[in-house]
Chain A
Amino acid sequence: MGMNNMFDLYNIRSNFPIFNQPDLPPLVFLDNASTTQKPTQVLEAVNQFYCRYNANVHRGIYKIAEQATEAYESVRDKVAEFIGTADRRNIVFTKSTTESINLVAYSWARKFLKTGDEILVTEMEHHSNLVPWQLAAQHTGATLKYIPLNKSGSLDMSSPERYFTKNTKLVAISHQSNVLGTINSVKEIIGYARDVGAKTLIDGAQFVPHSKLDVQNLDCDFYVFSGHKMMGPTGVGILYGKADMLETMDPFLGGGDMILSVTMEKAIWNDIPYKFEAGTPNIAQVIGLGAAIDFMKNMNIDSIDSQVRMLTSTAVSRLREIKGLTVLGHENGIDSTSVISFFHKDIHPHDIAHLLDTFGISVRAGHHCAQPVMDKYDLSASVRVSFYVYNTIDEIEQLISGLQKTMEYFR
């Protein structure tokens, strides 16, 4: 209750224009794992850039070009500090988590992997942390192996020696599942990877929006996430990479800004991280992400974490009270938060999501870009609700009553 009061006092929802449209019915937005809503502070930062100092970065010698470069580059420092690295060269701006993963798959995996090598993923991955590795494996002759998922919702780490072998060259796993909400013991997994000399990539798309990240402490080689899932604009992804890794990699895209000098025959790459940022970047969106990080820091990341956990555990117990409905994962002893998937024994997820929408509640129905997870549970689809810091207990009650009405309707 204390936490709830704190957030009531802060009145967080008043910062989000989408929740304050008097001409529309209230929006109960429970699809935050997909993307989050944007506070005025973020919209205003984007707007200010376009209205007051719109110019390209790293090029002009006039005042607003320098201002734009300074604003853009200061977000790099902000991100570095936010995820626990002192070295700004570790931070590459991309378009999304998906692009960050593909960058590593092309510039690192395709360069260094060969026949006989193994890429280790898990059965829990979002397609974006699976398909790029399938492609890289096809291209290099490496094999793809995976750590299986238990039905309880956690990874089966009972015999790690089966998965981590001398052939394992890369371990790519999600920090948190976008279907089950399970937070994986990535520190332990990174340890196993290091023991066999494998590199590591952690997909933090779901974890970073509500949890404190310390990449130095994790000691992973790569860490990726998306700005739009943490109140930032769409179009910005982050790739954290250890400097020595980034140095050995070839550029991903060629073009302007990523070179030091070019003749008609060849180019000399720019230093990291610029080597990986070809062409005009998403300047406004990066600046917007900076405002989102400020907003999160003002709220305090630990408070965001406890608010989201409180909402999640409340929703899990309320959903479990409903007859005929099964929640995936979230079993005792499994660290899980923010995302809940469930299904009803008779009503198709599509129908549930559609009816909830008519009550003004936005939820997701489908396979959530994680078909192997659905297969594990013998489902073709599930309903997914996911929370963020601006959601309320009252919205959970609306969800429950919407579900009850849905069941009544399809009885």
Chain B
Amino acid sequence: MDNLRELYQQVILDHNKNPRNFRFMEDFTVKADGHNPLCGDKLQLFIKIDGDYISDISFMGSGCAISKASASIMTEELKGKSIADAEKLFKNFRNMITSGEITSDDIGKLEVLTGVHKYPSRVKCALLAWHTLKNILDQNDTTTTTE
């Protein structure tokens, strides 16, 4: 069970069970679909932008505990942040999830996902919401895949 805890931390299990900002948004500024063809997970991300700031963010969809928790924590971390900070966080998170190393102090609660880097097949799950975000930031309103 020990190596289980490393991946499925309590916080992850909690976000899986009670995902935050898990709702449809009517007055979104942008939205995008994400898809992981490997496991069929689908995700919809909604963002409301006020000036340079993310004033609201939410998601919908089905996915494994890792992808759901990653999306849930992402929305918590990004709400109220500037677009530029969101870009930065995306880079730092991607770096952490692929290398297992935390090189920046803005990673916040996302740290619970560090264990994922040891499981290459799960890295895609953790990145699904983030790639969808990146797609929105790049103003590229098509379906994202993690392949």
Complex alpha-carbon distance, A367 and B38, angstroms: 8
Q: In chain B between 1 and 20, which residues have their CB closer than 8 angstroms to a CB of chain A?
A: 1, 3-4, 7-8, 13, 16-17
The residues of B that contact A371 with a CB separation of less than 8 Å are 40
Contact between B40 and A381 (Cβ–Cβ < 8 Å)?
yes
Complex alpha-carbon distance, A380 and B35, angstroms: 11
Contact between A367 and B7 (Cβ–Cβ < 8 Å)?
no
The residues of A that contact B42 with a CB separation of less than 8 Å are 380
Complex alpha-carbon distance, A379 and B39, angstroms: 10
Contact between B65 and A348 (Cβ–Cβ < 8 Å)?
yes
Complex alpha-carbon distance, A354 and B121, angstroms: 10
Contact between A367 and B40 (Cβ–Cβ < 8 Å)?
yes
Q: In chain A between 362 and 382, which residues have their CB closer than 8 angstroms to a CB of chain B?
A: 365-367, 371, 374, 379-381
The residues of A that contact B63 with a CB separation of less than 8 Å are 348
Interface centre among A350, A354, A381, A410 (most CB of B within 10 A): A350
Contact between A410 and B40 (Cβ–Cβ < 8 Å)?
no
Contact between B39 and A365 (Cβ–Cβ < 8 Å)?
yes
The residues of B that contact A350 with a CB separation of less than 8 Å are 39, 41, 64, 66, 122, 125
A329 within 8 Å of B by Cβ? no
Complex alpha-carbon distance, A380 and B17, angstroms: 19
A-B contact pairs, 14 of them (CB 8 A): A348-B41, A348-B63, A348-B65, A348-B68, A350-B39, A350-B64, A350-B122, A355-B4, A358-B1, A358-B3, A366-B38, A381-B40, A409-B4, A409-B13
A397 within 8 Å of B by Cβ? no
Interface size range of chain B in the complex: 20 to 34
Complex alpha-carbon distance, A349 and B62, angstroms: 11
- Nearest Cβ on chain A to B65's Cβ, whole angstroms: 5
Contact between B4 and A358 (Cβ–Cβ < 8 Å)?
yes
B24 within 8 Å of A by Cβ? no
The residues of A that contact B40 with a CB separation of less than 8 Å are 366-367, 371, 374, 379-381
Complex alpha-carbon distance, A348 and B42, angstroms: 12
- Nearest Cβ on chain A to B10's Cβ, whole angstroms: 11
Complex alpha-carbon distance, A349 and B121, angstroms: 13
Complex alpha-carbon distance, A358 and B7, angstroms: 11
Contact between A351 and B65 (Cβ–Cβ < 8 Å)?
yes
Contact between B39 and A349 (Cβ–Cβ < 8 Å)?
yes
The residues of A that contact B4 with a CB separation of less than 8 Å are 355, 358, 409
Q: Which of A358, A366, A410 contacts B39 (CB 8 A)?
A: A366
Complex alpha-carbon distance, A347 and B13, angstroms: 11
Nearest A-chain residue to B62, judged by Cβ: A380
Q: Which of B8, B62, B64, B68 contacts A409 (CB 8 A)?
A: B8
Nearest B-chain residue to A350, judged by Cβ: B64
The residues of A that contact B8 with a CB separation of less than 8 Å are 351, 355, 409
Q: A348-B63, A380-B42 are in contact. List 20 more A-B contacts (CB 8 A).
A: A348-B39, A348-B62, A348-B68, A349-B39, A350-B39, A350-B41, A350-B64, A350-B122, A350-B125, A351-B64, A354-B119, A355-B8, A358-B1, A358-B3, A365-B39, A374-B40, A380-B39, A380-B41, A381-B40, A409-B8
The residues of A that contact B62 with a CB separation of less than 8 Å are 348, 380
Nearest B-chain residue to A366, judged by Cβ: B39
Q: In chain A between 323 and 359, which residues have their CB closer than 8 angstroms to a CB of chain B?
A: 347-351, 354-355, 358
A410 in contact with B3 given A349-B39, A367-B40 (CB within 8 Å)? no
Interface centre among B8, B39, B42 (most CB of A within 10 A): B39
Nearest A-chain residue to B65, judged by Cβ: A351
Contact between B41 and A410 (Cβ–Cβ < 8 Å)?
no
- Nearest Cβ on chain A to B67's Cβ, whole angstroms: 8
Interface string of B109-147 (1 = CB under 8 A from A): 000000000010010010000000000000000000000
The residues of B that contact A379 with a CB separation of less than 8 Å are 40
Nearest B-chain residue to A358, judged by Cβ: B4
The residues of B that contact A348 with a CB separation of less than 8 Å are 39, 41, 62-65, 68
Q: Which of A354, A355, A367 contacts B122 (CB 8 A)?
A: A354
Nearest A-chain residue to B13, judged by Cβ: A410
The residues of B that contact A381 with a CB separation of less than 8 Å are 39-41
Nearest B-chain residue to A382, judged by Cβ: B40
Nearest B-chain residue to A375, judged by Cβ: B40
- Nearest Cβ on chain B to A150's Cβ, whole angstroms: 22
The residues of B that contact A367 with a CB separation of less than 8 Å are 39-40
- Nearest Cβ on chain A to B2's Cβ, whole angstroms: 9
- Nearest Cβ on chain B to A286's Cβ, whole angstroms: 32
Interface string of A161-190 (1 = CB under 8 A from B): 000000000000000000000000000000
- Nearest Cβ on chain A to B60's Cβ, whole angstroms: 14
The residues of A that contact B66 with a CB separation of less than 8 Å are 350-351
The residues of B that contact A351 with a CB separation of less than 8 Å are 8, 64-66
Q: Which of B1, B65, B119, B125 contacts A410 (CB 8 A)?
A: B65
